[in-house]
A and B are shown apart, each in its own frame.
Chain A
Amino acid sequence: MPSVKPPSAKKKSNTTRASKPAPRKRPSNKQSSVARRRWWAWPLRIVLLGLVMLAVLLVYLDAQVRHHFDGRKWNLPAKVYARPLLLYPGLALSPEQLQAELQWADYRAQRGTPTPGTFEHSNDVWRIHRRAVSFWDGAEGHARITLQLSDGVVQSLWVGSQEQPMVRLEPQYIGGIFPQHNEDRELVTVDDVPLELIAALIVTEDKAFLQHHGISVRGIARAMLANVQAGGVVQGGSTLTQQLVKNFYLSSDRTLIRKAQEALMAMLLELHYSKEEILQAYLNEVYLGQAGRRSIHGFGLAARFYFGKSVGELSTAEMATLVGLVKGASFYNPRRNPERAKERRDLVLSLMAADGVISEAERRAAQAEPLLIADAQRAGQREYPAFLALAKQQLQQDYRLQDLQNEGLLVFTTLDPWLQHSLETATQQHLQSLERHYPALRNELESAAVVTSVDGGEIRAMLGSRRAEFFGFNRALDARRPLGSLVKPAVFLSALQSGQYHWGSLISDDPVDVEGVANEVWQPRNFDRQHHGDVPMVSVLARSLNASTVRLGMNVGLAPIATTIQKLGLTSSVPPYPSLLLGAIDVSPFAVATFYQTIASQGFYTPLRAIEAVATSDGQVLSSYAMRGEQRFSASDMQWLRYGLQEVVEQGTAQRLRAEMSGKVAIKTGTSDGQRDGWVAGFDHQHLAVIWVGRDDNSPMPFAGSRAALPIWQELYRRIGVEPLPEFIDMSWLPVGGDGQIYAAGCSGTVYPFPLLRTPSTQGCRSTQPSSEEKKRSWFDWLF
């Protein structure tokens, strides 16, 4: 019989299954060895399977670690800046403004200005050590600026020993366009960060960082020992690499699986990257606090946020404070829990001294320092939600939101922090004063405002709520409120352009009935519930009389007035109903500003603009903007209209300004039906400001627009200074008699302006023209 090789167990089993069942036998030695093998095979297979799965997991984790670490690590929000303060000889600038703007950009008063970010002044001479700055058109290094400022004017300007025609100061940060979770950070390299800070971080968080390969058994043991000695948790067991992995890749779940994953990934990270790369990522990733909606990540931004400095400018005590935050940014928050934060800081300083990072003397000196934290609400770290919303809206005309949220773009805007500050203060003061007089209104009044430059339409300040840092409903952009009497300049402009009226024309203010579409009769009434007979047209506007305005508007015609309103810049639909004449159109304060901008800029419609330029994070200009617009009215007609608006101060609803204004300003107050909205829109030769005051629930207020909004306008201009409107050009001044007749120059009568191109011919001191009262009797007066 030929010898046969023993079949494999499996085969045998198959054979056995295939053949008839054999009689049960006692297993031989060979058989028991096979059984033993079979017993070990399964665990072996499980182990093998586990190893394969582990390998697959490692490959997966490795890919994840490398993909994320090699690519862009963070989505960087667009950083938005105010306009830089431009200094040049001849610039009108108050010392208060200069000092405030320096402090808002986190400059400290320090004798000798030893480091960038410091300034000093004695008498008229200011010395500013400007930091290196990224402007829209490129970066400029730090500079020692000397400025002579006297009589509110910059007299001379030096950088080092060279006289300069112009220098820009660092623009103030005003907010960001954040990605999800509102993470914000200011990226730093290891070289930017003082060695002391890095050493403090290592001795506190991971003493074996430079030796271990991602995880450290000794580190865990040392942490346990330190914790036992301190009688509480003073050190964590996780290495810096593990902390980075946890923050960077994983959730904050406290499970064993996540912990194991963290350890594996930490080892993989150490396998591929140098200690320096890992440290740099950590310095930028770590969470160090919260500022409103914005979460503060990394030491670069934390230094800026807590101390108003760059990370390179921190003192030893400040470094220790920041390192102390790593363990718990909320628990050790130096603003909310100063004692806890100081205790933690002192502990970090002790660890630094124990490890020889600092000397004992340095430790004592640093521990003796108080915990000095910059104000979280200071201008340089707070945000400007109303303006930011507009900037974001305008940026989205050219950029995708995801690029704005992720690419770290630098956005340079038109916001003037000094003006914004003045607007906020004026609004706060006045609303609080109103609430003191009317306690029932406490926390009921709201406000919105837009301030622009009259010639370019740059938006210089904006309020979407009386709470300037409120990120909710932006009333400046999104509220729709009746325009009220603010519409009246369009009625009077249409009348002047019709060629039938001038400012001395007499308009009857007698009661007027207007029949509506459904035969209902509308009887507009004056604010004082009285009628004033025949009134010169300029007084109708100045005193904001309703009956005579409606009579005039109906004579001129609703269609041309609706067209004028749209030409002035209101893009919403303007139905030509009689109620239009008293401003029954719902508009936002921003739309009102666009409307008045055309008047202020002499007939040039100018879209209001918040963005100057956008650059990449490394300073390449992506887009830059300039004023645009078109001429919609002649400059002389707009100056003619301006005369009427100036008279609002001289004889009308804004007379309270007369005592204070040294020169001419043009203004219109407005009150909507039932005193639900108080408005003011006014301009000098430099700025236009539109202010609204009202209640969100649309309830009436116990005062008119001249009481609600005008005092804010007045206080704003008192703070920022008035540049009076110039004399009219190309105007002739002719007397108008009490009957509205125009006489030749030199005759008696009230003198009114007439554009040269519209100056009527006159015949001596007695005109043969029909009186304006007769002239204006049109179909409308015929009807009534």
Chain B
Amino acid sequence: MVRLALLVVVVGLSACSSTPTQGPTVSPQASVEREQLTLTAIDEGQHHPAVAVYFRQAEDARLRGRLRQSMTYLDQARQIQPRNPDILYRQAWVSVQMGDAVQAEHLLLRAKVFAQGNGTLLRRLDLLLAESYALQGRAQESALARQRASGLRP
């Protein structure tokens, strides 16, 4: 009986112990995946040759700090392939750098219409969407978008 009482106490104490809880650990695989979901340069990846030319010009302009010009190069690319979500994604990425999170949001929503069926791209779009929501102070929507980007159903 005493043993039983002691066991209950020990179990109870261990349950109430203040062992620091750890947040979800970011596995190396998740980190790599996250990197893959983040754009580092406009001209990365394989694209239509004419679009690739504009991507290079847009990246050059971006590196020189001419974001508006970079945006226009991307828009020229968009006029070649108006429904290419990769282009809209890059336009949104530059919009975020220009501090225009609202425009980025709308470009990303548009990109999502054309990205149906492309899981990786949809996650990239959601990740950037989360960032643009966060920049607008819309924490809840940002969290939902981040959840979608991480592959979890919100």
A interface residues (Cβ-Cβ under 8 A, vs B): 86, 88-90, 136-137, 165-166, 453-456, 458, 602, 604, 612-613, 621, 623-631, 635, 729-730
What residues on A are CB-neighbors of B68 within 8 Å? Answer: 623-624
B3 within 8 A of A: no
Q: Which of A166, A454, A635, A730 is close to B50, meaning CB atoms less than 8 Å apart? A: A166
Contacts of A136 in B (CB 8 A): 72
Q: Are B71 and A88 in touch, CB under 8 angstroms?
A: no
Could you say which of A88, A456, A623 contacts B78, with CB atoms under 8 Å apart? A456
Decide: A625 and B116 in contact? CB cutoff 8 A: no
With A624-B72, A626-B74, A626-B75: A631-B106 Cβ-Cβ less than 8 Å: yes
B147 interface residue per 8 A CB criterion: no
A165–B50 contact, CB under 8 A? yes
> What is the CA–CA distance of A480 and B79 in the complex, to the nearest angstrom?
31
Can you name 10 A-B residue pairings with CB atoms under 8 Å?
A86-B50, A86-B76, A86-B79, A88-B49, A88-B50, A137-B69, A455-B82, A602-B113, A629-B110, A730-B116
Report, nearest first, the 10 A-B pairs whose CB atoms are least far apart: A165-B49, A455-B82, A624-B72, A626-B75, A88-B50, A166-B50, A635-B113, A626-B71, A630-B106, A631-B109
The smallest beta-carbon distance between B75 and chain A, in angstroms, is 4
Contact string against A for B residues 38-79, beta-carbon threshold 8 Å, 1 for contact and 0 otherwise: 000000000011101110010000000000110111111011
A84 to chain B, nearest CB (A): 10
Residue of B48, B75, B83 with most partner-chain A CB within 10 A? B75
Q: Does B150 contact A (CB under 8 A)?
A: no
Given the known interface contacts A166-B50, A631-B109, the answer about A624 and B82 at a Cβ–Cβ threshold of 8 Å is no
A626 nearest in chain B by CB position: B75
Total of A-B residue pairs, C-beta within 8 Å: 70
Q: Which residues of A contact B50 (CB under 8 A)?
A: 86, 88-89, 165-166
The reply to whether the CB of B91 lies closer than 8 angstroms to some CB of chain A is: yes
Identify 18 new A-B residue pairs, CB closer than 8 A, beyond the known A604-B110, A626-B78, A630-B106: A86-B79, A90-B48, A137-B57, A137-B73, A165-B49, A454-B82, A456-B75, A456-B79, A456-B82, A458-B79, A602-B110, A604-B106, A613-B72, A624-B68, A626-B71, A626-B75, A630-B102, A635-B113
Q: Which residues of A contact B102 (CB under 8 A)?
A: 630
- Specify which chain A residues have a CB less than 8 angstroms from the CB of B103 in the assembled complex: 628
B80 at the binding interface (Cβ < 8 Å): yes
Task: Check A626/B91 contact, CB under 8 A, given A456-B78, A631-B109.
Answer: yes
Known: A88-B50, A624-B68. A631 touches B74 (CB 8 A): no
Query: Secondary structure at chain B's binding surface: helix, strand, loop or mixed?
Result: helix
Contact B72 A455 (CB under 8 A): no
Alpha-carbon gap, A166 to B82, bound state (A)? 17
Bound form: Cα–Cα A458–B79 in Å: 9
B113 neighbours in A (Cβ, 8 Å): 602, 635
Give the Cβ gap from A414 to chain B, nearest Cβ, in Å.
9
Contact status B52-A165, CB under 8 Å: yes
Q: How large is the interface on B (under 10, 10 to 19, 20 to 34, 35 or more residues)?
A: 20 to 34
What A residues does B74 contact at CB under 8 A? 626
Given contacts A453-B82, A604-B110, A635-B113, contact A627 B75 (CB under 8 A): yes
Docked Cα-Cα span, A627 to B109, in Å, equals 14
Q: Are A166 and B106 in contact (CB under 8 A)?
A: no
Which residue on A lies nearest to B91, using beta carbons? A626
Given contacts A90-B48, A604-B110, A635-B113, contact A627 B78 (CB under 8 A): yes
> What CA separation (Å) do A90 and B71 show in the bound complex?
24
A483 nearest CB across to chain B (Å): 27
- Complex CA gap A88/B71 in Å reads 21
Which residues of chain B come closer than 8 Å to A454, judged between CB atoms? 82
Cα A520 to Cα B141 in complex, Å, equals 50
Pick from A166, A453, A602, A612: contact of B53, CB under 8 Å = A166
| Most chain B beta-carbon contacts within 10 A, residue among A89, A623, A626, A730 | A626
- The distance in angstroms between the C-alpha atoms of A629 and B88, with both chains bound, is 12
CB within 8 A of B49: which of A166, A621, A635?
Answer: A166
Q: Provide the residues of chain B in CB contact with A90, threshold 8 Å.
A: 48
Whole-angstrom CA separation of A630 from B95 in the bound complex:
14
Instruction: Name the distance in Å between B66's Cβ and chain A's nearest Cβ.
Output: 8
Across-interface contacts of A629 in B (CB, < 8 A)? 106, 110
- B residues less than 8 Å from A602 (CB atoms): 110, 113
Roughly how many angstroms separate A630 CA and B106 CA in the complex, as a whole number? 5
Assess whether B110 is in contact with A631, with CB atoms less than 8 Å apart: yes
Q: Which residue of B lies closest to A89 (CB)?
A: B49
Interface residues of B in 79-118 (CB under 8 A from A): 79-80, 82-83, 91, 102-103, 106, 109-110, 113, 116
Report B-chain residues with C-beta under 8 Å of the C-beta of A165.
Answer: 49-50, 52-53
- Once the chains are docked, how many angstroms separate the CA of A453 from the CA of B82? 9
Q: Give bound CA distance, A630 to B27, whole Å.
A: 37
- Complex Cα distance, B118 from A616, in Å, reads 43
Closest residue of chain B to A412, judged by CB? Answer: B72
* Identity of the chain B residue whose Cβ is nearest the Cβ of A605 in the assembled complex: B106
CA distance A455 to B111 in the complex (A): 11
Q: How far is the CB of A450 from chain B (nearest CB, A)?
A: 18
What is the CB-to-nearest-CB distance from A320 to chain B, in angstroms, rounded to a whole number? 44
Q: How far is the CB of A90 from chain B (nearest CB, A)?
A: 7
Q: How far is the CA of A635 from the CA of B109 in the complex (A)?
A: 10
Residues of B within 8 A of A626 (CB): 71-72, 74-75, 78, 91
Could you tell me the distance between the alpha carbons of A304 and B50 in the complex, rounded to whole angstroms? 32
Chain A residues, Cβ within 8 Å of B72? 136-137, 612-613, 624-626
Task: Please measure, in the bound complex, the distance between the C-alpha atom of A458 and the C-alpha atom of B75, giving whole angstroms.
Answer: 11
A414 to chain B: closest residue by CB: B79
Q: Which chain A residues border B49 with CB–CB below 8 Å?
A: 88-89, 165-166
User: Chain B: which residue is nearest A635 at the CB level?
Assistant: B113
Tell me, rounded to whole Å, the shortest Cβ–Cβ distance linking A165 to chain B.
3
Complex contacts, A604 vs chain B, CB 8 Å: 106, 109-110
Q: A206 to B103, alpha carbons, bound, how many Å? A: 63
Closest to A609 in B: B75
CB pair A88–B80 under 8 Å, yes or no, is yes
Q: A567 to chain B: closest CB distance in Å?
A: 14
The reply to whether B69 and A455 contact each other, CB–CB distance below 8 Å, is no
- A residues less than 8 Å from B80 (CB atoms): 86, 88
| A382→B83 CA distance, assembly (Å) | 34
Residue numbers in B under 8 Å from A623 (CB-CB): 68
Q: Are A624 and B71 in contact (CB under 8 A)?
A: yes
For A730, give the chain B residue with the smallest CB separation: B116
Nearest chain A CB to B123 CB, angstrom units: 19
Q: How far is the CA of A454 from the CA of B52 in the complex (A)?
A: 23
Question: Chain B nearest CB: distance from A638 CB in Å?
Answer: 10
Chain B residue with the shortest CB-CB distance to A629:
B106
With a cutoff of 8 Å between Cβ atoms, the chain B residues found around residue A635 in the complex are 113
Which A residue's beta carbon lies closest to that of B57?
Answer: A137
In Å, the complex CA distance between A88 and B109 comes to: 29
A residues less than 8 Å from B69 (CB atoms)? 137, 621, 624
Residues of A within 8 A of B54 (CB): 166
With both chains docked as a complex, state the minimum distance between the C-beta of A502 and any C-beta of chain B, in angstroms. 22
- A166 — which chain B residues lie within 8 A by C-beta? 49-50, 53-54
Q: A626 vs B75: C-alpha distance in the bound complex, in angstroms? A: 5
A711 CB to nearest chain B CB (Å): 28
Contacts of A624 in B (CB 8 A): 68-69, 71-72
Name A638's closest neighbour in chain B (CB-CB). B113
Q: How many Å lie between the Cα of A458 and that of B71 in the bound state?
A: 15
Q: Which residues of B contact A86 (CB under 8 A)?
A: 50, 76, 79-80
Min CB distance B74 to A, Å, is 7
A136 to B74, CA, bound (A): 14
CA A624 to CA B70, docked complex, whole Å: 9
**How far apart sit A612 and B72, CA to CA, in the bound complex (Å)?**
8
Question: Cα distance A621–B70 when bound, in Å?
Answer: 12
**Residue of B with least CB distance to A636:** B113
Complex: how many Å from CA A623 to CA B72? 9
With a CB–CB cut-off of 8 A, which chain B residues contact A455?
A: 78, 82-83
| A602 to B75 Cα, complex, angstroms | 18
> Of all chain A residues, which has the CB nearest B52?
A165
A458 to B78, CA, bound (A): 12
Kindly list chain A residues whose C-beta atoms are within 8 Å of the C-beta of B53: 165-166
